[in-house]
Chain A
Amino acid sequence: MAEISPSVAELVRRVASQEVSCEEKTIHRLARIPRIDRDIHAFLHLATDRATKKAREIDRRAKKGERLGRLAGVAIAVKDNICVSAMPATCGSKILEGFVPPYDATVIQRIEAEDGIVLGKTNMDEFAMGNTTQASAFGPTKNPWNLERVPGGSSGGSAAAVSAGMSTLALGTDTGGSVRCPASFCSVLGLKPTYGTVSRYGVIPYANSLEQVGQFARRVSDLALLYDVVSGHDPRDSTSVTSPKARKSSGGFKGKRVGIVTEFFGEGTKDGVRRKVLDASEKFREMGAKVEETHVESMEYALAAYYVIAMAEASSNLSRYDGVRYGASTEKGTADWNAAFAKTRTECFGPEVKRRILLGSYVLSAGYYEAYYLKAQSARGLLRRAFEKAFKSYDILLGPTMPVLPPRIGEKVTPLEDYMIDINTVPANLVGLPALSIPAGFVEGLPVGMQLMAPHFGEHLLFEAAQSYEDAVGVPGAKE
């Protein structure tokens, strides 16, 4: 375990006061990454030139005594489905090989406006469809804590990059748990913010009505800072809301009401995971919170509703990849466009993506739309009301992020078994609630994550709870 790195605020102070050279630090980091990443494969692209140039500019401004941004000189890894101009954006798919977006996502603009340094793009399950990062067309990412295990997904590259100390912070996207799952498996913090608080402009969609850009960090204060920088209304995203900014953590957690949700400890939950999360929840009781068991109704519909809606939206979102305007095309110059589209899509999409496009097209088809899509939407409504009810009694709802430990790379599971482990993460996406995975310790040498959920716009509650917990148990180390 490496030395625990200082907080982002401290790093920014050192850069601003010229105690350290941002350029030197960045060059050093960029040189070190390939050595670590040989084993892990978190990055698909390293933005060496852009990062170094930005670092040099920051040093120059520090020298002149100019005011620097809140992320000055801080390294941030970006999931490869978030557009950064002049960097590839493959979404882990062959079909976007060679595609370089001509614009920056809003979250990238906001990070760079605060002088954050975009290190590069990280590996992911193809189009964010998966929970292991094995479905990347460019090979799997490995779990820094055990190279034979998956890092979780779909934002596995970003979680691994932070976990292995290659990047201080990272961005991922969370459609059904894609930030919280790898955060849990890699022993870092991962936030899925309230729907509408972070702009989706520039985020290549998997399922628009479910996903948000999420943040990875090792310290709660760093996580809250990154969230604060990227969140806020964006006129370019019609689904973005003017959200109350994260309030500064008060540190105290006394008197808060915490509900341990029985449904989060379903039959697929591994014993060690259950024990570890219950142990961790004890910490809240020790801190003076009122902790008790509770139920959330309608949870049995969540997984099915999630997959129906996500696949439906995905089948439409992924239609545009036909090889005509950008990305890969394996059949050029033919008269029959239908055949050309089919050939490109057949050859360039992976099996999981194809499965979801087919299922999504099916549930939207005439005669099935009411039976599947509309039914899933009403289940979503039921779940929303169930959580509204639960949050009348509790500030925080709690459970394991993932019911299992990180699976082995290449382990054979059926798609259904694979989908089942998302059971605790998908409700937050269906309802649009904020949810945070925090490290809860280790079982069999593998990380376990605890998920905290709060009412809409309750990010500050999550940060407060996580900060209290961090104060009690310490900042988890990096695995290098």
Chain B
Amino acid sequence: MIDLIYHEEGVLDHPRAREVLDRYPSATLVPCSHYKEIFNPNGQNFALQKQKPSLILARKTGSLVHPVPPTYGIGGERNFYFSHLLNCLYDCRYCFLQGMFPSAHYVLFVNYEDFQDEILRLTQEPQEGESWFFSGYDCDSLAMEKSTGFVGSFLPFLSETPRARLELRTKSADTGILESKEALPNVVTAFSFTPEEIGKQLEKGVPSVDSRLRAIGRIAERGWPVGVRIDPLLDCIDFEKRYRDLFDKLFPSLPDESLHSVSLGVFRVPSSYFGRMEKLHPREPLFAGKLAKRGDSVAYRREIELERTAFCREELLKRIPASKLFQCETNLDAQPSP
């Protein structure tokens, strides 16, 4: 429940800000000059704030849409990400946001129209191939829909902009907004999964695998393309059994024609973020796992990563065609060029 809303001066004139305030009529409003006054200062404790984050309403300026590294994607030629929201409703212990952001407050950029203008501009560039836009890098795309109205606002735009393809990345089971609309072929809702036993330990607030599966079923039935993201891959006791069980649960219930893509991502965090995550949760067994500093990142030791990834890849290919499987390629162990 949000009971304190910071807002940049002037932002309350925006209709979307008014809509958000209508959702929280009893919230205390605190003005600020710029959201970074509250969000950026050092000396904040992300884990403490995560217990009761406030909302910051702001206007995004400067660069709005950013290119994604070439090895991250789901088949598109050009890949971009944008962040209408910073931070996530859920509290996943492996999440890099807690190492990247100094604050756990939610920052909502209300000027969606500026993001849409930039997406439109990029899709109109004379380039071959599909342009993909990923909205779930710095937040969960769906989990806060009731507060943000993000999907509801973007669907009409995407319906008129078929060259733009959007991935909604989520762990939410609240797919009401999609169920209430006509399906669009250029919008893929991608659900992230870890085995249930891991989720219970590390994913605070995340709906169960079963309830997400039911949500997938509902939107697939409505004709929405869906994605499955096995990300991050986490080493654990009974790894093979747990991941095999997860795949057995996921794929038989997914109609082939609805499944757009499956991607496999390893656990990998920039070293500086990892240091902060470890400091926030010094008693977290995940961070005492078989990890190693590899290049500028912390990840599972190479042999473990290769073995676990190979196993999952092999198991996935028993269930889905190779054309639908994508893997984020990394070259963590490469030495920098002299």
Specify whether A and B are partners. no
Interface set of A (CB-CB < 8 Å, partner B): none
